Structure 1
């Protein structure tokens, strides 16, 4: 079968198209004929060596795929055959024509949603829903969404009002992404490429920020604390696009009466898992999530695009058998 093999850690060139044996579903697994494979930012970090691989190299790369179940392993009912699903792998194996995954790691795709859109929305959208549930909005609050034009931030901007936000402020990097965040529904957008961007919320006439969805981390998290509502303000930290986690300590939070919630670990990831069905049901109401669809053998190019941070939507890989 057609697959993309990671031959070592390094640049996108380590992702090499190869013919490999088709996988066979183990007990508890399903076999999926892949139609759409999302290229995810964490995958680029894994490929580059920032995080360790779970399997020895070389190995078929990839976290997720969407397609049709065409085979089942022992212990899996045949009623799964023919279902369209998005599947999470155990950390490898999705950049391929055929993909195996645990049956409990699959989510059915609604009939009115394409495989490409389902693959594009699944990871970022389910994280956004989990963050919004964790935030416990009350209906009168102002939220700040960092990196609100793409990825998780784009879904936070689109869904925040549904979960009780009264006003949505977003940050974005550069004019194009600033426009995009506004189109997605932000009331106001701050360009976080400006060295002084964290000072702007303090100068706004519409009050303090009640909730910060922090994906940037680093020193900017500390700089935002004085713009937050004393006593009730809360920061949800779930990423560090700056290269380091939020530089926030108890000594920063206690005098201001603020809280910081680290959105990671088993309990939060379980909440993300429970949100998968709900985010796929919302796809028709969301902005089109796919930026570009490329053939599977152009996986290296797809990684270069993702690392450029230019795309506003998801890059999808499509095996030859799924080409229209």
Structure 2
């Protein structure tokens, strides 16, 4: 089978397609023939060697969300059979024709959801929904979603409305992206490159913001804290902006009953597994009934993974980039 990996950190050209054996699978695992593979900003950062939580050992093939068809199951697996169309979230060595993963990470897919779109039901969409729940968004509140046109952001913008948010505000860096996010139901979309973007957010929120979702990180975190209304919550979940040094947070900035929380999907899976599973079920329902629309920016052949990474580095994507195997 084909697998895409890199043997050194660097530009997209370090991604190479190689031939290898099918992955081994154990008694509690499932072997899946991949059809669509999600590509994330974290993949780009790991490839560069700039991921905030450290660079992976080499050689490395990214772990990400995969949709496909069950090829075989381990002897202890129940409820899944060869031929079943499934989603695998955070499949190891995912840029490949076949992936093997624990059955606990495999979800049968309903009819009517495209394979590429279904990749957004995995860790990406689940992150979006769990971010909103970590922020405790409730009816009538205002929500600010940074990078609203991104893979996580565009799901969060839509799901926030489903959770009752009265004002959904987002940031995006181009007019094309801002129009895209408006089309998803955002009430206000702010150009984060404008010097007065914080003032625009405050005006759009009618004062302070009740909840902020930030996967960009860097120096804007201090601004986010100061945008919060009393009892406002900031949830930090990444550093896609590329800043490797995060600012110190003055304790005095929290005295207005503001809360800052870090978010990690692996921590949710470990300590709140039922919450994680419920988020997937809720997201499947939202996508099936049309209240949340996953958007695919580009479908790129597996052997052109370098081009998929280039699309993300150009920061012009709206929705998700996926690799396809056929």
**TM-score by structure 2 length?**
0.88
Q: Is the 8 A contact 2:34 2:69 kept in 1?
A: yes
Partner of 1:235 in structure 2? 234
| 2:307 alignment partner, one of 297, 301, 321 | 301
Cα offset, 1:121, TM superposition:
4.1
Deviations 1:100-147 (A, max 9, x none): 111111122112212211114423211111012222233121121111
Instruction: Identify if the C-alpha distance between structure 1 residues 265 and 118 changes in structure 2 by more than 3 Å, giving closer, same or farther.
Output: closer
Greater alpha carbon shift after TM alignment, 112-121 vs 125-134: 112-121
1:248 aligns with 249
| Aligned match of 2:150 | 150
- Partners of 1:219 and 1:53 in 2: CA distance: 22
Which moves more between the two structures, 278-287 or 297-306?
278-287
CA deviation profile, 1:69-99 (whole Å, cap 9, x unmatched): 1111232237432221111356x42111111
Matches within 5 A, 1:179-190: 179-190=179-190
TM superposition shift of 1:246: 6.0
Q: Note closer, same or farther for the CA distance 1:103–1:246 as it changes in structure 2 (3 Å cut).
A: farther
Q: Is the 8 A contact 1:202 1:208 kept in 2?
A: yes
* Pairs aligned (count): 316
* Range with bigger deviation, 282-291 or 172-181: 282-291
Aligned ranges 1:63-74 → 2 under 5 Å: 63-74=64-75
Query: What is the rounded CA distance, in whole Å, between the counterparts of 2:215 and 2:90 in structure 1?
Result: 25
Counterparts of 1:240 and 1:53 in 2: how far apart (Å)?
14
Equivalences for 1:78-117 in 2 at 5 Å? Answer: 79-89=80-90, 92-117=92-117
In structure 2, which of residues 277, 280, 285 is the aligned counterpart of residue 281 of structure 1?
285
Q: Secondary structure at 2:208's aligned position in 1?
A: coil
Q: Contact 2:89 / 2:122 at 8 angstroms: preserved in 1?
A: no
Structure 2 residue runs of 5 or longer lacking an equivalent are none
Q: Any idea what the Cα deviations from partners look like across 1:192-239, whole Å, max 9, x if unmatched? A: 011331232344583332212222323323224443322x22212222
CA contact (8 A) 2:129 2:279 kept: yes
Whether the 8 Å contact between 1:143 and 1:209 is mirrored in structure 2 is yes
Please identify, of 200-209 and 257-266, the stretch whose mean Cα deviation from structure 2 is larger: 200-209
How far apart, CA to CA, are the structure 1 residues paired with 2:80 and 2:313?
40
Counterpart mapping for 1:135-146 below 5 A? 135-146=135-146
> Residues 182 and 99 from structure 1, CA distance in 2 versus in 1: closer, same or farther, beyond 3 angstroms?
same
Return the alpha-carbon distance in structure 1 between the equivalents of residues 118 and 216 of structure 2: 26
Alignment map for 1:170-185 (pairs within 5 Å): 170-185=170-185
Name the CA distance, whole Å, in 1 between partners of 2:124 and 2:211.
19
What is the TM-score with the length of structure 1 in the denominator? 0.89
Q: Is the 8 A contact 1:149 1:184 kept in 2?
A: no
Supply the RMSD in Å over aligned alpha carbons. 2.3
- Whole-Å separation in 2 of the counterparts to 1:265 and 1:252: 27
Q: Where does the alignment leave 5 or more consecutive residues of structure 1 unmatched?
A: none
* Contact 1:89 1:102 (8 Å CA) reproduced: no
